[in-house]
A and B are shown apart, each in its own frame.
Chain A
Amino acid sequence: MPDRPLDRVRRGFAARPSRNQAVVAVLLALLGFAGTVQVSEVRSDDAYVGTRRDDLVQLLQSLSVAQTRASDQLAELEQTRDALQLSSQQRQVALEESQDRLEALRLLSGRSSAIGPGVTITIEDPDGTVAAATLLNAIEELRDSGAEAIEINDSARVVAQTWFADGADPADATLVVDSRAVSAPYVVEVIGDPDTLAEAVAFPGGLTDEVEALGGTVTIAKSDELQVESLAPERAVTFGQPIT
């Protein structure tokens, strides 16, 4: 008797409707209904509709842990960012400061032209009697009074290393400033506080008196804007090493 199960299936389909079959049908209808409902429920938009409460709680907890971690990370990163910003600001400030210092030092060392208020001192020396020592004294007085840039005859910039010497012929009214010959009248342009500088020249026993004693004249002209354009010669440092 082959195919007995299939025969049974065939007979089952052919069977006359009965009450028992109706009961089975109702149960299967219930199964179909519940299955469809569940499938459509799972397929509905909200991914968490079918999720159990415990799972939801766990999910929530893991999310809040993740959030705590993320906000910790955020705080850390913000700290790092602030620190970096601060250090870059500090660098910026240091850079600006050193830039300012550089400019000041360039001006003081005669490596850059300068503009500003000051005095123009003209020394007339008809007899050639004004010596380098006189001029050097005057320069010292001017430095003492806060001169920031000094220039003689628009050509010789006077800085810390500048040296003065008398010219070859004493009667020639010529001086040597940093290997550069300057001849009378000596026009000394000085940038600084005009009143203080004028005082440094005109005080009793100062440059004016000295030059007049030698037979020359000194005129002082204050100015609000003076230009010192000549540069001091560049000097290489051979022996000294800065100690930091």
Chain B
Amino acid sequence: MIALLGLVAGIVFGLIVEPSVPGALQPYLPIAVVAALDATFGALRAFLDGVFNERVFVISFVSNVIVAALIVYLGDQLGVGSQLSTGVVVVLGIRIFSNVAAIRRRLLHA
């Protein structure tokens, strides 16, 4: 319940404040958001499976974001930033899809 409230509060806060993203963070923010989404869907799946653990969620959330940002940063340094970020988005997208599929199976048995 509180978790959902936190999500809503974050969205509302972002809409109200509407900060501009600093230039240094610009390439990483979208990837970080996708990575966090992946972690969140993974957590939801684990919750429905009954194996949810806040510690695991926090660590996977933070590490997902950091690793995604690191990969993009590395890619930028190597000159393959856009390709690598595309790759990261594809991988995370696949994971989100499979997580959502698992959630759907749990909830709808289909």
A residues lining the B interface (CB < 8 Å): 4-6, 8-9, 12-15, 17, 20-38, 40-41, 49-50, 52, 54-55
Contact (Cβ within 8 A) A30 B36: yes
Say yes or no: is B58 at the interface (Cβ < 8 Å to chain A). yes
Say yes or no: is B8 at the interface (Cβ < 8 Å to chain A). yes
Say yes or no: is B81 at the interface (Cβ < 8 Å to chain A). yes
Contact (Cβ within 8 A) A17 B2: yes
Q: In the bound complex, what is the Cα–Cα distance between A38 and B32 (angstroms)?
A: 10
Contact (Cβ within 8 A) B19 A37: yes
The answer to whether A21 and B29 touch (CB under 8 A), given A27-B61, A34-B36, is no
B residues lining the A interface (CB < 8 Å): 1-11, 13-15, 18-21, 26-27, 29-30, 32-33, 36-37, 40, 43, 47-50, 54, 57-58, 61-62, 76, 79, 81-82, 85, 106-107
A35 to chain B: which residues have CB within 8 Å?
A: 10-11, 14, 33, 36-37
A127 to chain B, nearest CB (A): 117
B81 to chain A: which residues have CB within 8 Å?
A: 52, 54
The answer to whether A40 and B54 touch (CB under 8 A), given A24-B6, A31-B40, is no
A38 to chain B: which residues have CB within 8 Å?
A: 21, 29-30, 33
B27 to chain A: which residues have CB within 8 Å?
A: 52
Contact (Cβ within 8 A) B6 A29: yes
B68 to chain A, nearest CB (A): 12
Contact (Cβ within 8 A) B15 A36: yes
Contact (Cβ within 8 A) B33 A34: yes
Q: Which of B6, B18, B32, B47 contacts A8, CB < 8 Å? A: B47
The answer to whether A5 and B33 touch (CB under 8 A), given A24-B3, A28-B3, A38-B21, is no
B70 to chain A, nearest CB (A): 16
Contact (Cβ within 8 A) A55 B82: yes
New contact pairs (15) apart from A27-B62, A36-B10, CB-CB < 8 Å: A5-B106, A15-B1, A22-B2, A25-B3, A28-B6, A29-B6, A29-B9, A31-B10, A31-B33, A35-B36, A35-B37, A36-B11, A40-B18, A41-B29, A50-B26
Q: In the bound complex, what is the Cα–Cα distance between A52 and B77 (angstroms)?
A: 12
Q: In the bound complex, what is the Cα–Cα distance between A191 and B44 (angstroms)?
A: 115
